[in-house]
Amino acid sequence: MCSSDLDVDAWVPFLGDLGQQAGDRNLGKDYLPSNALQPQSVSMRTARLTVAGKELHDVVLGATRIGEFWNANIDSREVQGFFSWRSALPGQPIGTLTARFNKLEIPRSRVLEFENLLDAAPADLPALDILADNFVLFEHPLGQLELKATNSVNQARPGWRLDTLRIRNPAASFDATGSWAPSAVAGVRPTRLTFDLRSEEHTSELQSPDHLV
């Protein structure tokens, strides 16, 4: 598939509705409606790709699916490497994204997108297992990134746990763990973060207050 502009998000409701309609037919107990119209493989080249509300540019992507498991390779201006997506297992609110990137860049123009992401319910955030050899944030190369996060299975108080956040470069290292849960107060995101920042000059450790706005 070649296109100058491809919006994956625009197709999701359409495919979901048709998949549910197909699932209403007697296709067997093992039939998964979510797979009804999903392709087995995808190959695309596009100048702009919109997926999950994010835009990627100059994209070349190849992906294959086995059941509820996707594997993909991507080369774009912002992201280069491979990733996999596994749909939610029993007890999980949402699936898992595993990625091994040569490059991961978050430009300054995407700040609002990430602020909106933090306003989402924790159950809407996938489990993450991400490694990036070259992490660039706001045009600043920060080095190697490791990120692991999971959803809480406690339905009474859902939360998102940051198991590992690690950044390494020749000048410094940053390690953090923490948790985040929704609040009854609008605009407030109770957060607990413990981090360790080390550089050639000094070492510092700080545990944040339980509640940050």
Please report, in tens digits, the pLDDT of each residue of the chain (213 residues total): 566 777 776 655 654 443 444 444 444 444 444 455 567 888 889 898 887 667 889 999 999 988 888 899 999 999 999 999 888 777 777 788 999 999 999 887 766 666 666 666 666 678 899 999 999 988 899 999 999 998 776 655 567 788 999 999 998 999 999 887 666 665 566 678 888 988 866 554 444 444 443
State the pLDDT at residue 62: 92
State the pLDDT at residue 206: 47
State the pLDDT at residue 73: 95
CA distance 156 to 185: 17
State the pLDDT at residue 71: 93
State the pLDDT at residue 209: 47
User: What digits encode the pLDDT tens for the residues 97-116?
Assistant: 999 999 999 887 766 666 66
Following DSSP, what letter does each residue of 13-80 receive, concatenated?
HHHHHHHHHHHTS---TT--GGGTT--SEEEEEEEEEEETTEEEEEEEEEEEEETTEEEEEEE-SSEE
- In the chain, the percentage of residues whose pLDDT exceeds 90 is 27
- Whether the model pTM is above 0.75: no
CA distance 137 to 171: 16
